[in-house]
Structure 1
């Protein structure tokens, strides 16, 4: 009796980098990250737009003072906007010190700079980190709104920092040596061709 043995070749479609890995490491994924990055950047610019022209944000800081005052308040019934006592104490100490006068400007121009950096693709991971920190603080102060979604998108951009800014300023920043060498080589080549 003859025995027939067949060898099985692996036809595993998941050999090599997984889809998840390619999303965060393959430069071609930058096409996917580009609209996400621009969308998030635009959200930050829109958030800053109405504040920039408002003197309560850019001159006196009264708008931020009102926001913080509301956040630290403990209502007689229901839940307080801030769930954690340590964070309420932190915000209260900022109120007591009067830091809202300069911190409001930091919020406004921080939102604007994060938005611009994300749109032009400059230091995407760092910009997304600053945006995520702002979203986290808004959520801690009791403002859910769109902050959870923006926070998750910012976290994804932080993880994808290597490719998320590939179509943008980050390409030039991370490849400046090759770009300079290419520019120098092209400028020197015509001079030696005579």
Structure 2
């Protein structure tokens, strides 16, 4: 159980619930994080799937240009999709620089790579971070859709990165020395093992 102590004209002690601590630090919590991680990864793969075969995304970037153009538009009545002027200026700068021609590919393959990394459990914290960045950008551009939910799940995976990838490639990456030592011990003859 974690204890948090704050001092301001006295001492206040708060005890964090052990369930919360176990959820983000105990390797057995990986069983809980596995379906969440795979679900989020599949969402990213589905998002990339229809874009990969669309030339407007992978060749010309016109699909992203249309999305950005709609996002920066300020309607005469009603509310603009983008609430912050600085973000509208950022997207307008990308439009003016014709960045959509290369950025569309970056979006498509970024979504695909995040999805694959989450499903196989490779660098879960990093993959979830980049997924959260994409969700945040979609929300900033005025696309709510499922992005808030995906953003929250990605943040949880970032916090749980140590155990979220335990059932996956991360286990091998973070424990490679232990795994190498075990492999060396398996190759040793019985007489070599007793000598060391």
Structure 2 length normalisation: TM-score?
0.89
- What residue number does 2:70 align with? 70
- Structure 2: tracts of 5 or more residues without a match: 1-14
- What residue number does 1:29 align with? 29
- What residue number does 2:92 align with? 92
- What residue number does 2:139 align with? 139
- What residue number does 1:117 align with? 117
Within 5 Å, which residues of 2 pair with 1:32-71? 32-71=32-71
CA-to-aligned-CA distance 1:153-183 (integer Å, 9 cap, x gap): 0000000000000000000000000000110
CA-to-aligned-CA distance 1:123-154 (integer Å, 9 cap, x gap): 00000000000000000000000000000000
CA distance in 2, matches of 1:16, 1:94: 45
CA distance in 1, matches of 2:44, 2:57: 16
Structure 1 runs of 4+ aligned residues shifted over 4 Å read none
Q: CA deviation at 1:102?
A: 0.3
CA distance in 2, matches of 1:94, 1:167: 39
CA-to-aligned-CA distance 1:10-52 (integer Å, 9 cap, x gap): xxxxx99610010000000000000000000000000000000
Within 5 Å, which residues of 2 pair with 1:102-113? 102-113=102-113
- Distance change >3 Å, CA 92–CA 173, structure 1 → 2: same
Q: CA deviation at 1:189?
A: 2.9
Q: How many residues align?
A: 180
In our comparison, the structure showing a higher alpha carbon Rg is: 1
RMSD between superposed Cα atoms in Å: 1.6
- What residue number does 1:10 align with? none
- What residue number does 1:7 align with? none
- Structure 1: tracts of 5 or more residues without a match: 1-14
* Greater fraction strand: 2
Q: CA deviation at 1:190?
A: 4.9
